[in-house]
Amino acid sequence: MRPDPIQRIDTAFFWDACERGELVAQKCEACDLLWHPPRPICPTCHSMEKAMQKLSGKGRLLSWVKQARPAAFGFPESPVAILVELEEGIRLVSNLEGVDVDDIKVGMALQVDFAKTSNDKAVPIFRAAGAS
């Protein structure tokens, strides 16, 4: 079973949103920058004034890799690790599921989904857009 995410004070809002089936990011109130991963201050202007913004969950595949052996801890077989660029410009590292390795194409449209973890938490994963 997929391991639980490690929650910290600055990341709890992100993981709580995942459990609700929402993908969110931090937004700087001073300069309007969206960023991920969560951190205490804006990486551009260093403001501590931040808000949470819901994201579309739509993006495109920038890069991917699948480990040959052994399978990663908590997975029956090695997951496909991906770098996704969301419509909003944020990049996330995640997993791609529901796509045969031979059908993976850089630039393919993706949509966020959420996978349960060992203690019934949730983490974002991605699937081909239009797939269920």
Residue 104 has pLDDT above 70, yes or no: yes
Q: At 20, is the pLDDT very low, low, confident or very high (cuts 50, 70, 90)?
A: very high
Two structure tokens written together for 92: 């996330």
pTM for the full predicted model: 0.91
Q: At 78, is the pLDDT very low, low, confident or very high (cuts 50, 70, 90)?
A: confident
Q: What is the pLDDT of residue 1?
A: 78
Give the Å distances, CA to CA, from 23 to 55, 73, 126: 6, 25, 11
- The structural domains of the chain, ordered by start, are 12-128 (2.40.50.840)
Of all residues in the chain, what percent carry a pLDDT higher than 90? 80
Sheet hosting strand 24-28, strand order edge to edge: 34-35, 24-28, 50-54
Of all residues in the chain, what percent carry a pLDDT higher than 70? 97
The C-alpha atoms of residue 12 and residue 32 are separated, in whole angstroms, by: 21
Q: What is the pLDDT of residue 132?
A: 57
